[in-house]
Amino acid sequence: MEDYEGLVGLIQQGNFAETQNRVKALLDEGKLPDQILQRGIIAALDIVGKKFSEGECFIPEMLVAGKASQKALEILKPLLVRSDFKPKGKVVLGTVKGDLHDIGKNIVAMMLEGAGFQVIDLGYDVAPEKFVEAIKRENAQILAMSCLLTTTMISMKNTMDALRQAGLFGKVKVMIGGPPTTDEYAKKIGADFRGKDAYKGVEQARFFISP
């Protein structure tokens, strides 16, 4: 486990360059890519996510840890593909129509990717039909939607309606997040889960996929 501790620390600090160097060094030592993912990246983001959820770590620190994990994944991804690595599941994700606030969404995307999911990030201001199209195209198991404003929250409902029309309702697990969202709202629109924060979202994604 010691081998990976350095990497876990570097990701937590958001040290992009050293994170990449450390990943290369671990590969040179003969460590397997999926082990580096599991014991380095997933372990680091789990610590950061948990600390964030408990109010011991804050958004700037979470962002830089997420970015550092992306830097590590840049190196690992091609190797993982070659080694027949199976992602945990596929998540289509985006900030809903009318809303350009994407930092929360970006953190969730990085955390999910760092947790071994394949993430199809549609960006912000994503129309309901774009979500539907991506879920079909990618055969995704999970849809994750984000919003910041009360006046854009309705786009989540509109997207649920589009899922119903496309016959995807019940076939894809839906989670929502963002300040105005509540458990009741999730229930009302037929979403499966509302995440209070990024860490809770990742935990739930794991649960959705678990056999």
Partner 1 sequence: MSHKEVHAMKEMSSRERVMTTLEHQEPDRVPLDLTITLGAYTRLVKYLGLESMVDPEPKIANWLTYVPIDQKVLEALDIDIVHLGSRPPKGHPKEFPDGTTVDEWGVKRRRVERPGGGFYLEMVENPLRDATIKDLDDYPWPDPHDPAVLEGLEERIRWWYENTNYAIQVWLERGGLGEQAGYLRGIEQWWMDLALDKEFAMALMNRLCDIAIEFNKVCIELIGKYVNIVRFTGWDLGGQNGPIFSPSMVEKMFKPVLKRQWSTVKSFLHNVNPRAKIFFHTCGSVYRLIPTFIECGLDILDPLQTTAAGMDMDRIKREFGDKLVFHGAMDIQKIMPFSTVDQVKNEVRLRIRQLAPGGGFILAPAHAFQDDTPPENIVAMYRAGKEYGRYPIKV
Residues in touch with partner 1 (CB under 8 A)? 14, 55, 57-61, 63-64, 67, 97-100, 102-103, 106, 125, 149-155, 158, 179-180, 182, 196-197
For partner 1, the closer of residues 90 and 121 by Cβ is: 121
For residues 75 and 153, which CB has a smaller minimum distance to partner 1 in the complex?
153
Two tokens at 203?
């935990």
By beta-carbon proximity to partner 1, the closer residue of 59 and 81 is 59
Name the 3-class secondary structure at 127: coil
52/197 Cα distance (integer angstroms): 8
Tokens coding 105: 């969404």
Which is nearest to 49 in space by CA: 196, 210, 208?
196
Write down the least CB distance from residue 30 to partner 1, Å: 31
The pair of three-digit structure tokens given for residue 151, joined into one six-digit string:
């006046």
Residue (155 or 204) nearer to partner 1, CB: 155
Question: Smallest distance, Å, CB 37 to partner 1?
Answer: 23
Shortest distance (Å) from residue 60 CB to partner 1: 4
User: Which C-beta is closer to partner 1: that of 141 or that of 155?
Assistant: 155
Instruction: Give, as one character, the DSSP assignment of residue 181.
Output: -
**Rounded CA separation 29/179 (Å):** 44
Cα 141 from Cα 67, distance rounded (Å): 25
For Cα atoms 157, 111, 210, give the angle at the middle one, nearest 5 degrees.
Answer: 75
CB of 209 to partner 1, least distance (A): 25
Is 13 or 118 the residue whose CB approaches partner 1 more closely? 13
C-alpha distances in Å from residue 76, one per residue of 5, 39, 110, 124, 128: 17, 13, 15, 27, 33
- The DSSP string of 150-166 is TTTTHHHHHHHHHHHHT
How near is the Cβ of 196 to partner 1 at its closest, in Å? Answer: 6
